[in-house]
A and B are shown apart, each in its own frame.
Chain A
């Protein structure tokens, strides 16, 4: 066994010597270096910051009332491609505000083309189906507004006190 190995080595040495003597031949040697591949898998994601509520201080029911400033922030947007967009839609959970007597309906709430950064705002009126509020521009890492400009229409409400409506924000970037 040992003899065979020495014999093999001798033959190999002889072959190399003969080749070196004959001509320069370029050979490709296998890469013996060790390496590790580091892979970071980043999922599509975003950080969302929305207020808990907005208030309308209605001092004259015969006039429309603007809400307190409504800041909405979406940051750290990471999507599949730079051409994909994140969309923010809203809908009313019910058709009208709570409260006795004549009260406000969801359709009394509207929003304007507020000053969004990194997004296109779509003005609209609240319904019980999702309506687009804003669409973040493709490729941006964040989009936000300091005031989404919600307004409550004039209504002949008949009782004072608390009247509330729940509004659902939808954040989506669905696609294949």
Chain B
């Protein structure tokens, strides 16, 4: 009786201890939480992750500040409150740490309490949910253990919100276009964009390409460059062309800029870095 109780306890313990013998498979929400709020508002949202297969795991949820390098290649995560426009100090999470059984769903409740006195504009932070290591996992040889981490954006907007960008540069080389923009508003701006190269202002584009969706923050880096590949422009007939960049910021109007492009002269200058 005593030994069967011990086996039962051991079995129960193993059932709740996460096991990392195999990899982790999960479906997670990647939806940024976007909230229009007023000073003093309390807003609650939830975020979910569902574990698949027969693998359980332990998770820890936290709020971080987040920004990207100017080219968008590198993300930086810091403790909440580093940025002036961080919403991190407003957020509470529940649960913070929990074990999720195989096949179960982790649901994290996110509560934002907007301060009574706050300047208008866009505030942001991220929810990061980290898989925690299994302290009982055996170490074998030289190995790297993998742990997953998922980050989701939280954007809180306090009116009046000013979404405003400036296009500061359009660089064209033979096979790519690079655009530089600056956020001159008071909130992060998400943008879709495209570039069109035409022979005349009224004529149809002879080359067009789209940019991937980009978010331009207001700090610590308010500028953002983004690149799209182009077909070989050197193959176009020599002459003067018009380059148009059209950016959709989700407003009732698009933002545009245009410049002249002389082929092949301007492409040669770009190649030489002039």
Give the interface of A toward B (CB within 8 A): 43-58, 65, 67, 76, 79-81, 83-87, 89, 93, 97-98, 104, 109, 122, 129-132, 138, 150, 152, 161-176
Chain A, residue nearest B50 (CB): A47
B contact residues, total (Cβ < 8 Å): 53
Give chain A nearest CB distance to B105 CB in angstroms.
Answer: 12
- With A81-B192, A129-B76, A166-B133 as known contacts, state yes or no: A56 contacts B141, CB within 8 Å: yes
**Which residues of the other chain, B, contact A152 by a CB distance below 8 angstroms?**
142
Cβ–Cβ contact A168 & B32, under 8 A: no
Cβ–Cβ contact B213 & A138, under 8 A: yes
Give chain A nearest CB distance to B24 CB in angstroms.
Answer: 6
Cβ–Cβ contact A47 & B52, under 8 A: yes
Give chain B nearest CB distance to A156 CB in angstroms.
Answer: 14
CA distance A51 to B141 in the complex (A): 17
Which positions 120-154 of chain B face chain A at CB distance < 8 Å?
122, 124, 126, 130, 133, 137, 139-153
CA distance A143 to B214 in the complex (A): 20
Chain A, residue nearest B67 (CB): A174
Give chain B nearest CB distance to A113 CB in angstroms.
Answer: 15
- With A52-B23, A174-B215, A176-B188 as known contacts, state yes or no: A165 contacts B145, CB within 8 Å: yes
Cβ–Cβ contact A48 & B26, under 8 A: yes
Is B20 located at the chain interface by the 8 A CB criterion?
yes
Residue with the highest number of chain A CB atoms closer than 10 Å, among B25, B66, B144: B144
Give chain A nearest CB distance to B147 CB in angstroms.
Answer: 5
**Which residues of the other chain, A, contact B215 by a CB distance below 8 angstroms?**
174-176
- With A57-B141, A83-B192 as known contacts, state yes or no: A168 contacts B149, CB within 8 Å: yes
**Which residues of the other chain, A, contact B148 by a CB distance below 8 angstroms?**
48, 50, 168-169, 171
Give chain B nearest CB distance to A1 CB in angstroms.
Answer: 52
Cβ–Cβ contact A174 & B213, under 8 A: no
CA distance A50 to B131 in the complex (A): 12
Chain A, residue nearest B138 (CB): A162
Chain B, residue nearest A54 (CB): B144
A-B contact pairs, 10 of them (CB 8 A): A43-B31, A45-B30, A51-B22, A52-B22, A53-B145, A84-B212, A164-B139, A166-B147, A167-B147, A172-B150
Cβ–Cβ contact B149 & A170, under 8 A: yes
CB contact between A169 and one of B76, B77, B142, B146 (< 8 Å): that residue: B146
Cβ–Cβ contact A81 & B213, under 8 A: yes
